Structure 1
Amino acid sequence: MRRKRVAVATVIFGLSCLAGQPALLGQGDANLLAEANARIERYRKGVERFYTILFSHPAVEANSWWDLSDQGAWQGAPAGLLRKDMSPKPAYDALLRLINDKWWTRAEVKAGRGGEARLRRFYGDYKVVVKQGGREVAGTFSFDKSTSAPIEVQLR
């Protein structure tokens, strides 16, 4: 019988969620600190996978990255998203793509007769622009965990 290895961080994360507590996470080590040139692709994939898991779990409310750059990083570890010369690492580019492309709601929808439109979206603040016959009006709305009723947007 083959045993599956489970990281301590995964167990702690799971117990926190089972207890009904929101998960507020730091970068931790998550086996990501040991970056070397030969492992840079593995590091990128690990960062991408780790953040995807965090983003997809409903108990996660926040996350932070301790060292943005390798310059002055804790114990000299190459744990930053940027190198000492401030050039981006592949992990930085991967996170940028996730945040600004994959996890960003961009949509064009057509409203029904009553002016209603349905949209699957991520939590956040939104700007709606309605164009009809050369005229353009806009409005804003927010969508978060507490939103359960349809959202009415005032257009001006």
Structure 2
Amino acid sequence: MTKVLFAIVLTMITFAVVLSASTKEAMTTTMSDQVNSIDVDVLAVMDMCNDSYRIDPTYLQALNESGSFIDETDKTPKCFIRCVFENVGIVSEDGKQFNPARAAVIFAGERNGKPMEDIADMTALCATDRQETCPCDRSYKFLRCLMSMEIERYEKS
């Protein structure tokens, strides 16, 4: 179970650049630095959400590799994403309002060994004009948008 949750954390935190405000230089950080910089225990949140919304690790693996779940009709994994997002401050309790700046902090890092300097721009784009009425679907499609954009920019380039 711990290995599964650790893999989920690594999936959610797969990007790597923190912009230095004073020097305006980008500095690359390690995954452990990123995890330590987040003021919530993402692993504990994921564990808690997994108690309510059991998610098969293959869903997260598919999301990380392709940008979408293997079965997009299954609501449980989508609600798992919503639960995590609510508890780490990415989405409001009603599931309607995204906090793109918070999402950028949570997802900061690198993909495919490349620093993702534009993560804040990507989270802002994916949060804009979400039309989904189901809060679980809304959270999933925000993440799907973000993951697809990351794959396009950092895996295929």
Q: Which has more helix, going by share of residues?
A: 2
Quick one: higher RCO (CA 8 Å, sep 6+), 1 or 2?
2
State if a TM-score over 0.5 links the two structures.
no
TM bucket by the smaller chain? under 0.3
Per the normalisation by structure 1, the TM-score is 0.27
